[in-house]
Amino acid sequence: MSVPDDSLFMHRALDLAALGRGYARPNPLVGCVVVGPDNTIIGEGYHQQYGGSHAEVNALASVTDPALLRQSRVFVTLEPCAHHGKTPPCADLLIAHGVPEVIVCNDDPNPLVAGRGLEKLRAAGIRVRTGLLAEAGRQLNRRFFTSQEKQRPYLVLKWAESADGFLAGPHFQQVQISGPQAQLLTHQWRTDEAAILVGTRTALHDNPRLNAREWPGPQPIRLTIDKNLALPPSHHILDGSQPTIIYTHRERASRPNLTYVTLPFAPASAPPAPDLLPTVLADLHARGVQSVLVEGGPTVLNALISNNLWDEIRVFRSAKRLERGVAAPRLGLRGWQSHEKAGPDDLFRYVNW
């Protein structure tokens, strides 16, 4: 019988890890596969929910005959933790079960781990190999790695534009540009990210709910920048139906599911992005918000693009023409990274990582 390629086991661990998307945050996505002495999978698991058991715990618990663990290899997508958090250290668990070899996809950049898990395993005599499918692992956990390495949330910019380059009608008049498939995808993306951000004009003119009504999954935290508290209390974003943060220059008491964060005034001559947006991103990072889907408007989108504060851009381009209106951002990039159809619309994706 031929011996399976080790990358097959790590691919399986990565597939398992992805099942925790949306629910494990702010923890990273982690999958684990236990391969027995006959090179078959005898156990597997993933980190299903924040605060719950880690992938290694679930994988080892699924092994029918624990005695086999002393002859098995463990494939895990991220370095096993070595510290006490909401659960005990996974490195200690692997050592206690006498696992002889651990293969790791990515080292953990979290300062609480950062090599300590690997050191603990090696000190116990366990063979450790790292870097198997490392790029695939970073891509899967790009939100986590961005948060750890750049000290800001992973930023996904999204908009729909007409064939002639407009994203709204004159005077920000709301116009349905994209089709139902694009709308469904947008609701799916909202469950993928920890938060969703719009600017004042979008919140004021569109009165969006900013929730995921058409796709199952966790609801994002709603965010808006409302410097002068211009939004009327009747607007959806203030209805308290889901956690919401309003960034403003004014003082207002917070209430359940609605947090007001007062930002300092910037000099009148200063452009908004270098002063305001980094402050917002720093506050979100401090709150453990790892990713943000930015759905507009043009002021926020253009400010983030011009200051290179983005990781992905997703643009729906419709065949409709508006002739006039609010111009969509002009990217000026070398080209799109991928292109696909979303019903009648074209979806272009750009990456910045």
Cα gap 238→257, rounded to integer Å: 9
User: Domain boundary at 145, 166, 194, which?
Assistant: 145
Kindly report the backbone phi and psi dihedral angles of residue 18, in degrees, each rounded to the nearest multiple of 5, phi listed first.
-65, -20
**Do 36 and 51 lie in a common domain?**
yes
Q: Kindly state whether residues 210 and 135 are assigned to the same domain.
A: no
Look at residue 319 and tell me whether its pLDDT is greater than 50.
yes
In a domain, 329, yes or no: yes
In the predicted structure, residue 336 carries a pLDDT above the cut 90: no
338 and 213 in a common domain: yes
The alpha carbon torsion through 158, 11, 132, 113 (nearest 10 deg) reads 70
> Which residues fall within 8 angstroms of residue 167, CB to CB, at 6 or more apart?
159, 160, 161, 177, 296, 297, 298, 325, 326, 327, 328
pLDDT value at residue 179: 96
Domain C-terminal end among 121, 145, 169: 145
Check whether residue 204 and residue 115 sit in a common domain.
no
* Mean local confidence (pLDDT), 4-14: 95
Domain of residue 189 covers 152-351
Does residue 159 form part of some domain? Answer: yes
Residue 269 belongs to a domain:
yes
Domain end residue (candidates: 129, 145, 161): 145
- Catalytic residue, chosen from 44, 56, 161, 193, is 56
Same domain, 158 and 138: no
For residue 85, give the amino acid letter.
G
Taking the mean position of all CA atoms in its chain, how far away is CA 244?
A: 18
Q: 86-100, 102-116, 263-277: which has the minimum mean pLDDT?
A: 263-277
Tell me the backbone φ, ψ of residue 220, rounded to 5 degrees: -75, 160
262 and 124 within one domain: no
The maximal CA–CA distance of the chain, rounded, in angstroms, is: 73
Please tell me whether residues 63 and 199 are part of one structural domain.
Answer: no
Does 170 lie in the same domain as 117?
Answer: no
Please check whether residues 166 and 140 belong to one and the same domain: no
Query: Which is nearest to 89 in space by CA: 69, 108, 70, 65?
Result: 108
Buried b (16+ CB within 10 A) or exposed e, 261-275: bebeeeeeeeeebee
193 and 160 share one domain: yes
Q: Would you state the pLDDT for residue 269? A: 47
Q: Are residues 128 and 166 in the same domain?
A: no
- The answer to the question of residue 1 being in a domain is no
User: Quick check: 86 pLDDT over 90?
Assistant: no
Structure tokens at 133: 């499918």
CATH number (domain holding residue 330)? 3.40.430.10
Cα–Cα dist 83/117, whole Å: 8
- pLDDT score of 313 more than 60: yes
Report the chain's mean pLDDT, rounded to a whole number.
Answer: 92
pLDDT at 273 exceeding the cut of 50: no
> Is position 193 annotated as part of the catalytic site?
no
Residues 287, 230, single domain; the answer is: yes
Place of tokens 């990072």: 285
Instruction: Report the domain count for the chain.
Output: 2
CATH of the domain at 85: 3.40.140.10
